[in-house]
Structure 1
Amino acid sequence: MKKLILKNESFQYIEKSFREWLDILGYAESTVYNLPNHIRELFYYLEQNNINNINQLDNQIIKDHYNNLKLRSNDRKGGALSNGSLNKQLQALYKFTEYLRQSGRMILPTLNIDWENDDTKHIEILTTEEIQQLYKATQHYPKNIKYTKPHYFFEAIALRDCAMLTVFYGCGLRRNEGYHLTVDDINFDKQILHVRKGKANKERLVPFNKTNSKYLQDYVYDGRINLIKDKRESAFFINERGKQLSSQSMSIRLKLLQQRTDDLQLQEKNVRLHVLRHSIATHLLSNGMPLENISRFLGHNSLESTQVYTHLVNQEDGN
């Protein structure tokens, strides 16, 4: 995309305001840079069609602009824009309408523009059976063998790994959310997990069921207590040295559990912590949970971010 020059000062101001809004909410630096650039293309389209006031914007104009993008050539690579590039444009458009709504500038109905099929951004998910195998793999710790560590140490690691699966699958947390989790963030009486450092600095309360409560309590009261060396340590996940477990170490532990399973097909999958989050969202949707509830559960800023899971469920149903 060549650098587009906007003549309309109000559009220039709104673009700048949109960028600041993204920055204040704590979005990644790349997002703060790229999304307003995509919206500049929308403003340029408006100017070319003699639309000079944001109040003239409506969903049909946005759809016409998007259809025009689908016909536009790729300046750098030639040919048409890839589906991945189009989805980035869609992300910007959806986020911009959210900005317009939250800033009080105007309220537009939901766009309802379908995401393009992007084979380069395949979302990996695990079946419920594969999730169960990961839980079973936490029990595959050394037994009846003389090690430098006592037996209860390996039991504590097993309980921690089980709690890790529960936090990222059972509660659907992002990696960074799980890393910042503290013991005080979990209320066992109300079966609520408090996410204090969510994406864009948003907090949310995540409910968990009795089974997940047992896994978490087993770790807190029987596992974590045997790992910590300083009782003042508040981090939920503790490493072998008694300190906070890093997010990278969590990813390594998950890979280890994956390789401990007997399922060769599962071992070949690109299993990451975020795959657990994708998996629980898909399973909840398959079991009939409303999309709005799943969106709140995951801490999405808008329903559009959750709609990708409807495509995954539809693909599974079609197989």
Structure 2
Amino acid sequence: MKKLVLQNPSYRYLEQSFKEWLDVQGYAPSTVYNLPNHIRELLYYLEKQDINNIKELNIKHIENYYQTLKERSNQRRGGGLSNGHLNKHIQSLRKFTTYLRKVGRLEIPEINLKDEETENRIIYLTVEEIQQLFKATRQAVEPRERVNVRTYEAIQARDRAMLAVFYGCGLRRTEGVSLDVGDINFDKSVLHVRKGKNYKERLVPISKTNLKYLTEYVYDHRPELTNGSKAEALFIAYSTTKRMQGQSLFIRLKNLQYQTGDQDLIEKEIGLHTLRHSIATHFLQAGMKLESISRFLGHSSLESTQIYTHVAGIPIEKAQPFNNIKNYDSIQLSEDEL
């Protein structure tokens, strides 16, 4: 429902203000991106009910709106909305009413909607879907206003480097954001994670294909984005020549997702961490040993890694063959496969 158009200027402003509030509060980029989209549906519903001032909103309106969501069909796949999707709307409504109270826009009590029952599961992409994301970075260049062909090609190379880091090297969002060019040892094909979780450092091997993407970006295209500055950050925003933050990288990933044109892939609510989940799952499906995956991801214990055995549908005792993390290059996507 992202194509809904709000006619009420105050509602459009409210949606943007809610998004900025989430960002200031420090919520994850995926939350900042998705929750306002869900709230747009509520505001659109209110317009249709001739409720054009947010001060008229009450709990009964929200309950009636949620009932329409439960009865609404899934526009892409048919049937109703999944319980997981409904829960995301409930989360959005809770955060939105909290926002209204916190900023003094409306004194409204906490909503009393119960979460729908769901199975906890990790979202990950298939190898084929990862291939589609890489292919999206090769689409024909369409120069835009104030963005020339060379800059656009540099952005595409940066997108490939982004996938190489978050999928190919399995980095967490903050780890990838914090990377500097000097953290990549191109001679030894190793990436130095200096700002890991709980301040732990680790060395991550880089596959031949991903090293190629990083090399091309750093040496052939990144100078186009730095514009002569001495920026150390790996991922540079072309408009500011400053370090890209998680929200900006997340938006680039979402752009690639939509550019694939695959409706099933577009339907998935993915983020940078989805790429990390994906490589871990693919390793396990390929038979890599849990201990090796755990070291690769920087987990402090095997318990954190064992969640992927349920995702991949593989008994823990059968995830044994790969004994050396350096053998992982044969699992990753090759240039020919892309």
TM-score, scaled to structure 2: 0.56
Q: Which residue of 1 aligns with 2:210?
A: 212
Amino acid at match of 1:175: R
The corresponding residue for 1:79 is none
Aligned to 1:176: 174
Taking the TM superposition and a 5 Å limit, the aligned residue runs for 1:184-223 are 184-223=182-221
Aligned pairs for 1:1-319 within 5 A: 119=118, 121-140=120-139, 142-143=141-142, 145=143, 147-241=145-239, 242-314=241-313
Aligned sequence identity (%): 57
Q: Which runs of 5+ in 1 are unaligned?
A: 1-117
The aligned length equals 198
Structure 2: any 5+ residue segments left out of the alignment?
A: 1-116, 316-338
Contact 1:181/1:236 (8 A) holds in 2 = yes
Structure-2 separation of matches of 1:186 and 1:162: 16
- 1:291 aligned partner, one-letter code: L
Q: Specify the structure having the higher radius of gyration (Cα).
A: 1
Shift of 1:207: 0.1
Shift of 1:209: 1.1
SS in 2 for 1:227: helix
Q: Distance in 1 between matches of 2:245 and 2:141?
A: 23
Distance verdict in 2 for CA 1:146–1:269, change over 3 Å: closer
2-structure distance, mates of 1:120, 1:272:
20
CA RMSD of aligned residues (A): 1.7
How far is the alpha carbon of 1:223 from its aligned partner?
1.4
8 Å CA contact 2:125–2:274 kept in 1: the answer is yes
Residue type of the alignment partner of 2:235: F
Per the alignment, in what secondary structure is the counterpart of residue 121 of structure 1? Answer: coil
CA contact (8 A) 1:141 1:155 kept: no
Following TM superposition, by how much is the alpha carbon of 1:122 offset from its aligned partner in structure 2, in angstroms? 2.2
Per the TM alignment, residue 262 of structure 1 is displaced from its structure 2 partner at its CA by: 2.1
- Report the Cα offset of residue 246 of structure 1: 1.2
**1:275 and 1:122 mapped to 2: Cα distance?**
12
Distance 2:193 2:166 in 1: 12
Q: 1:305 to 1:155 in 2, by over 3 A?
A: same
User: What is the CA distance between 1:146 and its match in structure 2?
Assistant: 6.5
**Structure 1: which 4+ aligned runs deviate by more than 6 Å?**
none
